[in-house]
A and B are shown apart, each in its own frame.
Chain A
Amino acid sequence: MSAELKVLSVLLVVWVGLFFYLLHLDREIRKIKDRQP
């Protein structure tokens, strides 16, 4: 694999991971807000 493809795949993995982590946090917050009156 060329260097460029390696860099690209690393960055893609990082981004996808980050994004889904942020979505997860979003969900957690909604759950906490739901529990509060």
Chain B
Amino acid sequence: MSSAQRDGNWFFRHWWKWLLFLGMILVLAATFLWLPVVQRPAWDAATNSWKPEPWPLFRIMIFHVPMSWVATIAFLVATIHSIQVLRTGSRLADLKAATASELGLLFGIMATVTGSIWARYEWGSFWNWDPRETSILILILIYGAYFALRSAIPTETTRARLSAVYAILAFLMVPFLVFIVPRMVESLHPAPILDRRGKMQMDKELLVVFLSSLTLFTILFGWLWHLKVSIVRARDRW
């Protein structure tokens, strides 16, 4: 099939990309224009009771949480492909693992930045050494070190093997950092939204927008990952 013929049904074969495009626009518009502002209880001294108070800052969560979620997914994907590297020595698996780690790092940094913005308005300072904040920072350092390791090994096969080992070791840290440490120590972070029965804490409209954002971010990750892998293969011709 020639390129011209391909272009003809190009629009239809990549329908999901247009869905992603519109979906994200809808989520953005809904967040700022449609969603009723989340309320939270605030103590009203005048009437000596709890009154609902608007909490517009909460909307950052619609983007911040999906970003950290995608970072975790990205690291999981990297680990799966790293295991594959150790089993088969596949060059493609190594490329997939490295690309996933790169994206994980990127989304992790974005999550930290959005988290900092939240922290600044909610608690007064950009950084608070809250256990969850610290955990994501540690993860960023760990995966940054992954790239330091890769750049120190010139031989391709050795680089694939050793960075795969490190990536698996790094991912072993994720349960500690994401689940254990924040549970143990008091945290400024809002109560976990999605684990256990958390879903009921959000009203329907917010839930819809939030879940859509989560799905769209995951699709975006998938596309970016696939794109980067294809670019490297096309550029280096394999």
Binding site for B on A (CB under 8 A): 4-5, 7-8, 11-12, 15-16, 19, 22-23, 25-26, 29-34, 36
Contacts and interface: CB of A to CB of B under 8 A. Distances in A.
Given A22-B224, A22-B227, A26-B227, A11 B28 contact: yes
B224 A34 contact: no
B33 interface: yes
B29 A8 contact: yes
Q: Which DSSP category, helix, strand, loop or mixed, fits chain B's interface?
A: helix
Interface string B21-56: 100110011011100000000000000000000001
Contacts of B227: 22, 25-26, 29
B59 to A, nearest CB: 9
B21 A25 contact: no
Given A8-B32, A11-B28, A32 B234 contact: yes
Contact of A29 (B20, B21, B231): B231
Contact of B230 (A7, A11, A29): A29
A29 B29 contact: no
Q: Which of B28, B29, B223 has the most CB of A within 10 A?
A: B28
Q: Which DSSP category, helix, strand, loop or mixed, fits chain A's interface?
A: helix
Contacts of B235: 32
B24 A15 contact: yes
B234 A29 contact: yes
Nearest to A36: B237
A17 to B, nearest CB: 12
Contacts of A22: 17, 223-224, 227
A33 B235 CA distance: 10
Q: Which of B6, B223, B231, B234 has the most CB of A within 10 A?
A: B234
